[in-house]
Amino acid sequence: MSVKGKTAVITGSNSGIGLGIAWELARAGVEVILNSFTDSEEDHALAKKVADETGTKARYIQADMSDGDQCRALIEKAGACDILINNAGIQHVAPIDEFPAEKWNAIIAINLNSAYHTTAAALPLMRKAGWGRVINISSAHGLTASPFKSAYVAAKHGIVGMTKVVALETAKEPITANAICPGYVLTPLVESQIPDTMEKYGMERDEVIEKVMLERQPSKEFATTEQLGGTALFLCSDAAAQITGTTISVDGGWTAL
């Protein structure tokens, strides 16, 4: 079955990996719904650009993924959700004994709780449509840990666990649930970690990229948003119909170490 004509909701998709996935799905003829917490002209223009350049439909729906009701409202406003990409995420880097509680709560809310709310709202629509794909963007940090990222690592491990449960609960239906675990991808989220990491380790920018970030990525290359879009598209294909409840690493060998 082709994905052409299916509808995908991609949380946190006005930049980075979410936007990369949106582009790849749109190129395959999937109607895409872009999202973030902002509601600017640029956000709506981005959806128009995706539609114009791919010939599919694209919309932008504002919803703050730190708020459970807004997560559910996003799915309701979308009207259909054959493919749900839980991608919205933030990061904060600090030792656990100095980790601000509001940052901890925001990371757990956006990176983990939002996926619970959107999945709960989307599954009835997938069941009605008789087909569905839940794709959670976890991380290499969903399978392993790094210092100073307690909330992020907890949320990313949590979403891997939730993925397995959703897969078991939908196992007899034409619905799959999987998590993609990227290594480092040079997106605004990663850019924003560089100054803090420079301070923590007393390093220059190039040293942080080489010795901290890509140090654990044996390929010594960042993964790209296009590669993540291609992985998501594969999970939507018939070839992936029996792949459920698992993780796919796109990390240049990081988790093989």
Measured distance CA(18)–CA(226) in Å, rounded: 10
Tell me whether residue 89 or residue 252 sits nearer to ligand NAD (CB atom): 89
DSSP H helices, 8-113, are: 16-27, 41-54, 68-78, 101-108
Tell me whether residue 188 or residue 202 sits nearer to ligand NAD (CB atom): 188
Place of tokens 């409202």: 73
| DSSP letters for 189-256 | HHHHHHHHHHHHHT--HHHIIIIIIGGG-TT-S-B-HHHHHHHHHHHTSGGGTT--S-EEEESTTGGG
185 lines the binding site for ligand NAD (CB under 6 A): yes
Q: Of these, 27, 29, 37, 94, which contacts ligand NAD (CB under 6 A)?
A: 37
Indicate the Cα dihedral angle 164, 234, 3, 81, nearest 10°: 30
Residue 224, number of CB atoms within 10 A of its CB: 16
Tell me, yes or no, if 152 is annotated catalytic.
yes
Catalytic residue among 60, 116, 152, 201: 152
146 lines the binding site for ligand NAD (CB under 6 A): no
158 lines the binding site for ligand NAD (CB under 6 A): no
60, 44 contact by CB (below 8 A):
yes
150 lines the binding site for ligand NAD (CB under 6 A): no
Tell me whether residue 107 or residue 236 sits nearer to ligand NAD (CB atom): 107
Q: Of these, 64, 82, 126, 217, which contacts ligand NAD (CB under 6 A)?
A: 64
209 lines the binding site for ligand NAD (CB under 6 A): no
Q: Sketch the per residue contact string, 75 through 114, with ligand NAD: x for CB under 6 A, - otherwise.
A: ------------xxxx-------------------xx---
Measured distance CA(67)–CA(11) in Å, rounded: 13
143, 160 contact by CB (below 8 A):
yes
Nearest distance in Å: CB 182, ligand NAD = 4
Binding residues for ligand NAD (CB under 6 A): 12-18, 35-37, 64-66, 87-90, 110-111, 137, 139, 182, 184-185, 187-190
**Catalytic positions:** 152
